[in-house]
Amino acid sequence: MSGVVLSLEGKVALITGGSRGIGAATVRLFRQAGAKVVFSYEKARETAEALAAELGGPEFCQAVQQSLHTPEDGRALVGAAVAAFGKLDCLIVNHGVWPSHDQPITTMPDAQWRSTLGINLDSVFGLVQAGVAQMLSQPGTVKGHIVLIASTAAQRGEAFHADYAASKGALLSLTKSLSSELIGQGIYVNCVAPGWVATEMSAAALSDPGTSNKALSLIPLGRAAHVDEIAGPIVFLCTPLAGFVSGEIFNVNGGAVLVG
């Protein structure tokens, strides 16, 4: 008896923030599942180009340099993905910023608030708007899949990181709104909400004993996630095995959302 196969053969995926961390793991897994992939990066050109080359080069995997701060940025990236491979079946909105320093709300600069929401929310609007338009123009009953990457902080809040928690919390409502609007038209919209994950973005916090001990004490599994443990659910949500799943917040956090 053969094993279960999660195949995305013939599909095209756009993955934002794909040069490192969760994004890079997701790019790799989508390619392993047979999809062609376009992924964005902002600064890490050498790392991004090496990843694209590793996964088959221009015919199968392309890295696009694109800042994501505004709706216009998001729309431009979708355009680049469609130009690369002619269509868009899966949109994975993974990019984001988490200012690592504690910032009380009473002293949070307007510039920090605006920057965090610009990257984590405004650009998502542009990505989704252009992505949906492209998917609806394509043939077939299933037009496409959208997976937004939020955070445990979106549901529990995060003291001294109100900008980040607010931006990610908005993605939960966006997921539910888009699913209600689009599932009848063949577009599935879901959200994956990780907790602490061992990435470059979280490295400074997790290497600090005080912060790390506090964070891990709230995770029943007692550790941070590996990036592959987040990439797996993302891919699953884009396969036929998730064919009756839309509008869901998929918590992938070692049980942390139920604690504290």
* Nearest-angstrom CA–CA distance, 150 and 163: 13
Q: What confidence tier does 225 reach under pLDDT thresholds 50, 70, 90?
A: confident
Q: Are 30 and 54 in contact (CB under 8 A)?
A: no
Strand partners, 61: 37
* Nearest-angstrom CA–CA distance, 193 and 207: 22
Tokens at residue 199, please?
Answer: 């990435």
Q: Is the pLDDT of residue 258 over 70?
A: no
Q: What confidence tier does 185 reach under pLDDT thresholds 50, 70, 90?
A: very high
- List the domain boundaries for the chain: 12-258
Q: Are 143 and 185 in contact (CB under 8 A)?
A: yes
Longest dimension (CA), the chain: 61
Q: What confidence tier does 169 reach under pLDDT thresholds 50, 70, 90?
A: very high
pLDDT of residue 1: 56
From the list 39, 98, 164, 250, the catalytic residue is 164
pTM value > 0.75: yes
- Which of 109-123, 163-177, 243-257 shows the lowest mean pLDDT across its residues? 243-257
Q: Which CATH code is given to the segment(s) 12-258?
A: 3.40.50.720
For residue 213, with 0-12 CB atoms within 10 Å meaning exposed, 13-18 middle and 19 or more buried, which class applies? exposed
Indicate if 164 belongs to the active site: yes
pLDDT of residue 187: 98
* Nearest-angstrom CA–CA distance, 208 and 199: 14
Q: pLDDT of 45-76, one tens digit each? A: 999 999 999 999 999 999 999 999 999 999 99
C-alpha separations of 95 from 17, 82, 181, 260 in Å: 4, 19, 24, 27
